[in-house]
Copies of this chain bind each other. A is one copy, B any other.
Amino acid sequence: MTMTSELPAASVEPGAEPRKSRKNNPEKTRENILQEAIVEFVQQGLSGARVDAIAERIHTSKRMIYYYFGSKEQLYVEVLEKLYGDIRNTENRLHLAELAPVEAIRRLVEFTFDHHDRNVDFVRIVSIENIHNAEYVKRSDAIKAMNNTILDSLGEILRRGAEQGVFRTGLDPLDVHLLISSFCFYRVSNRHTFGEIFQIDLPDEHIKQRHREMICESVLRYLQA
């Protein structure tokens, strides 16, 4: 789920646009609520989020949240689906098949890295879901239905690399994906504790570039024949 692709717009901006939902634009009202719900759930977690807090952000009353979403849980599920959906929509634009295996891997790793770096909201909601044992992801048919192409792309690259003798054989795409994702995700998800314990400012641009290079090289070395 940690995936990878093009620019899904950086993290949602909080109350950036207090777009008046009123009057009588149901589609807009609904979208409005969802946007502010993302902010609240991402910042506070599922238990920590307050329906009142979301209501305060929007211009329609709290009652609307129940009108459109039925319950806090359902709203959370839709937030989850929205953030997962945004991610998925950015995939399949890498055109990795056109690149040489080493270049394709490099591009894939860099993309994954940048992607997590830019989508803190997504990283946080996934962490929150794991605290809840992925209960809501499991429950969501929408997320199940999302087509996941990353393993296919990666598998194809590895196969080409092996054929060309630049990568070794017998590699499982899923393992490689785990190797890539873990670094890209953790760097963002754990930046607060890691940063505090080791006194390092992970978001620093200089450090970020160093780490981007590190994970690229690390993966490539691991794949090499």
Which residues does A use to contact B, with CB under 8 Å? 1-2, 44-48, 124, 126-131, 133-134, 137-138, 143, 148, 151, 172, 174-175, 177-179, 181-183, 185-187, 189-198, 200, 210-211, 214-215, 217-219, 221-222, 224
Q: Which 3 A-B pairs have the closest CB atoms?
A: A134-B192, A182-B186, A47-B48
Q: In the complex, which residues of chain B have a beta carbon less than 8 angstroms from the beta carbon of A127?
A: 127, 130-131, 189-190
A134 and B193 in contact (CB under 8 A), knowing A175-B210, A175-B214?
Answer: yes
- Assess the B126–A128 pair: CB atoms within 8 A: no
Point out the residue from B138, B151, B190 that lies within 8 Å of A198, measured CB to CB: B151
20 A-B pairs within 8 Å (CB atoms) are namely A1-B194, A45-B45, A48-B131, A124-B131, A127-B131, A129-B193, A130-B191, A131-B131, A133-B192, A134-B196, A137-B193, A137-B196, A148-B198, A151-B198, A175-B214, A182-B182, A182-B187, A182-B190, A189-B189, A221-B221
Q: In the complex, which residues of chain B have a beta carbon less than 8 angstroms from the beta carbon of A196?
A: 1, 134, 137-138
Report how many copies the assembly holds. 4
